[in-house]
A and B are shown apart, each in its own frame.
Chain A
Amino acid sequence: MESAAYDGAVAEPQLTAEQARAALDEAGMRAAQVHRNDRQLCWMLLLVAAAYLGAGVVMSLSPREGRSFAGPAVVVMLAAAIVAAVVIGLRIRAYGRASMIMYFVSIIAFNLWNSAIVSASIATRFWASGQPSYHFGLSVMVAIIPLLIGALLIGRRR
């Protein structure tokens, strides 16, 4: 009987606290690997912010009179940003649910906030024919705030 009890104890080895801690550490490490990969979403948000900011800078520097380079430059810049964002998007190999939610919330918040900024800029005549061009740039700087917050939140995840 003693032998049978001994055999049973050997057949069911117990996990030590040390081994359990090691397994928990590994689970944390695996989660961190996914979160690091999520940063591609952060780069996509920053890319959209940079393109929009670039468009604002071009419009701020563009002369109001005569031949303007602003239109084609803005179109090229935004098209390049869309292509780059698609390329980054296709390279994403894993994504967490929380990061994906933060990404889409940032994009939706940017669209709503940007619409509000544009409407307010027109309504208050901040964007009017008599106003200086750099007003476009100032509005754009405020409009990209949701994108920057989203990128920061996704980028800071561990």
Chain B
Amino acid sequence: MRHPRHDLDDLLGHPVRFSIVALLAAAERAEFGFVRDHVEVSDSVLSKQMSALEEAGYVKVHKGYVENRPRTWLSLTKQGRQKFARHLAALREIAEGNGAPELAS
């Protein structure tokens, strides 16, 4: 039987990236500041992780203006949602104990 850990996504293994993607997975779009405040990271840390996720094609960045102020909105791409869903499915399997090494009796 194939161990579910093989379906875990390396990029989502990082705790901050996992938090960002988990937050964006529940949202159609989220503002940069909203993600920063909820994931509890600095602007620079979020920017750095967002660049990695954007480069991998998991996240899309949208820039716009609200009341003449620049706003950055973030959303997961279709690929990002699929990768996250697969990662969650693997986590569920591991949490249920599937793939645990069988002990010789």
Q: A15-B8, A30-B23 are known contacts. Are A94 and B29 too (CB-CB below 8 A)?
A: yes
Let me know if A14 is at the binding interface, CB within 8 A: yes
Let me know if A88 is at the binding interface, CB within 8 A: no
Residues on B with C-beta less than 8 A from A11 are none
Question: B83 CB to closest chain A CB, in angstroms?
Answer: 13
Residues on B with C-beta less than 8 A from A67 are none
Looking at chain B, what size class is its interface with the partner chain? Answer: 20 to 34
| B interface with A by C-beta (< 8 Å) | 5, 8, 18-19, 22-23, 25-31, 33-35, 38, 66-67, 88, 91-92, 94-97, 100
Are B92 and A20 neighbours in the complex by a CB distance under 8 Å?
A: yes
Let me know if A152 is at the binding interface, CB within 8 A: no
Are B91 and A20 neighbours in the complex by a CB distance under 8 Å?
A: yes
A-B contact pairs, 14 of them (CB 8 A): A15-B91, A17-B95, A17-B96, A26-B18, A27-B18, A27-B25, A30-B22, A37-B34, A93-B31, A93-B34, A94-B29, A95-B28, A96-B27, A97-B28
| A interface with B by C-beta (< 8 Å) | 14-17, 20-21, 23-24, 26-27, 30-31, 33-35, 37, 90, 93-97, 100
Question: B68 CB to closest chain A CB, in angstroms?
Answer: 11
Residues on B with C-beta less than 8 A from A100 are 28
The complex places the Cα of A30 from the Cα of B33 at a distance, in Å, of 15
Q: A34-B27, A94-B34, A95-B29 are known contacts. Are A24 and B88 too (CB-CB below 8 A)?
A: yes
Are A27 and B88 neighbours in the complex by a CB distance under 8 Å?
A: yes
Among candidates B5, B28, B38, B96, residue contacting A33 with C-beta atoms closer than 8 Å: B38
The complex places the Cα of A14 from the Cα of B94 at a distance, in Å, of 10
Question: B35 CB to closest chain A CB, in angstroms?
Answer: 8
Question: B77 CB to closest chain A CB, in angstroms?
Answer: 14
Are B5 and A15 neighbours in the complex by a CB distance under 8 Å?
A: yes
Residues on B with C-beta less than 8 A from A97 are 28
Residues on A with C-beta less than 8 A from B94 are 15-17, 20
Among candidates A24, A26, A90, A95, residue contacting B27 with C-beta atoms closer than 8 Å: A95
Residues on B with C-beta less than 8 A from A15 are 5, 8, 91, 94
Residues on A with C-beta less than 8 A from B25 are 27, 30-31
The complex places the Cα of A100 from the Cα of B67 at a distance, in Å, of 21
Are A24 and B95 neighbours in the complex by a CB distance under 8 Å?
A: yes
Residues on A with C-beta less than 8 A from B31 are 93-94
Residues on B with C-beta less than 8 A from A30 are 19, 22-23, 25-26, 38
The complex places the Cα of A94 from the Cα of B31 at a distance, in Å, of 6
